[in-house]
Structure 1
């Protein structure tokens, strides 16, 4: 993070209120880095951003899922009734109980779903945890291959090795380190450039706030020579004081386009 640059700045009443630091990378179709600012080669943990690649690894290893259940395997869910029902369908399809899940117990992430869940007398459960879809898919992959379901979170388990192989292939680099994610699954470290290669698109504001994303995306597209009304409309976002515009979120110096 020591090479991160200011990719967006928040100006309120003419004064800089705060900065968003981060890194941006654009990779060409052949995987080479076409343009970047900040740190893009150092390994980092993409966390849940890895889920689509994890799901792809499981599909290549024999997981049979599509539609809404594949979406549950490839992303985080909010623990709403439709999500919980989907995870239960996934487990039932291979004859496994909910206790086979080894992710932590949690209340639903969605506020209404959490309140309804508690009102019905329920406590934290594995099936309502935001990563339970991915874990159910890991178990389904184990059953499809005859692999043991016990210990499926071990980094050396066949399902995790299959996932790692896919991540490395699509990122175009070796996994630099293996840690443990919040859900208990192996967490694979790759670079931002590798993540860009894998997804074919740019990612990540490193302070966690969403407000700078459209600004950074628009500025990056303009740096690549793309332009149009929609891109220009997203390049600056207003900051309001009460109901009055008092400033902007705008691209940082590293992303400024020279006219």
Structure 2
């Protein structure tokens, strides 16, 4: 059974108000362990926490974006208009439209954005990870890799992300 470690505590007036447990592994530049807390071999489902690693792999494979657009590639967004415009801008750089996105359909993540969206259907561009997917598509176009199967684990993009 995996065990997690106490990573942080917030103490106010001598009382622990909140504590955060988990796993931590920090490596030195040569790959040796610098610091380890908890069972770092525990199986986890990282979800969005690895977007920055995926973005790094894309940059190493030719992705060039200005900072505000790279931020969309490396994070989740709320579905604000500026986020949707940014995703469309990345897609336009690739000569693509929203129809090329293969992320799930969803409504905006942000509470205000979701409320403003109302009862409109879920879309791919409003999915919180559409920026990452748009950047993946642009990386594929820059490398002349196929875009139809960019989510396939054997696709060159996914191989590069896994290697990162």
Q: Shorter-chain TM-score: which interval? A: 0.7 to 0.9
- Structure 2 CA distance for aligned equivalents of residues 69 and 9 of structure 1: 34
- When Rg is computed on C-alpha atoms for both structures, the one with the higher figure is 1
Instruction: Identify the residue that residue 151 of structure 1 maps to in structure 2.
Output: 149
Root-mean-square deviation (CA), in Å? 2.6
Write out aligned runs for 1:58-207 (5 A).
58-118=58-118, 122-165=120-163, 167=164
SS of the residue 1:51 aligns to = helix
TM-score scaled by structure 1? 0.56
Q: Which runs of 4+ in 1 moved over 6 A?
A: 14-19
Structure 1 residue 132, shift from structure 2 partner: 0.1
Tell me, in whole angstroms, the C-alpha distance in 1 between the residues paired with 2:143 and 2:15.
60
Aligned residues, how many? 163
Q: What is the DSSP-based 3-state SS (H/G/I as helix, E as strand, rest coil) of the residue aligned with 1:36?
A: strand
Larger relative contact order (Cα-Cα within 8 Å, sequence gap ≥ 6): 1
Where 2:58 maps in the other structure, the secondary structure is helix
How big is the shift at 1:134? 0.3
TM-score relative to the length of structure 2: 0.84
Shift of 1:46: 2.4
Residue 109 of structure 1 and its aligned partner are, at CA, apart by: 0.7
Gaps of 5+ in 2: none
Once the two structures are superposed, residues 171-221 of structure 1 have per-residue CA deviations (whole angstroms, 9 ceiling, x without a partner) of xxxxxxxxxxxxxxxxxxxxxxxxxxxxxxxxxxxxxxxxxxxxxxxxxxx
Equivalent in the alignment of 1:183:
none
Name 1:236's counterpart in structure 2. Answer: none
Question: Residue deviations 1:42-82, cap 9 Å, x none?
Answer: 45332211111111111111112121111101111111100
Q: Structure 1's 27 and 164: CA in aligned 2 closer, same or farther, altered over 3 A?
A: closer
Unaligned runs of 5+ in 1: 168-259
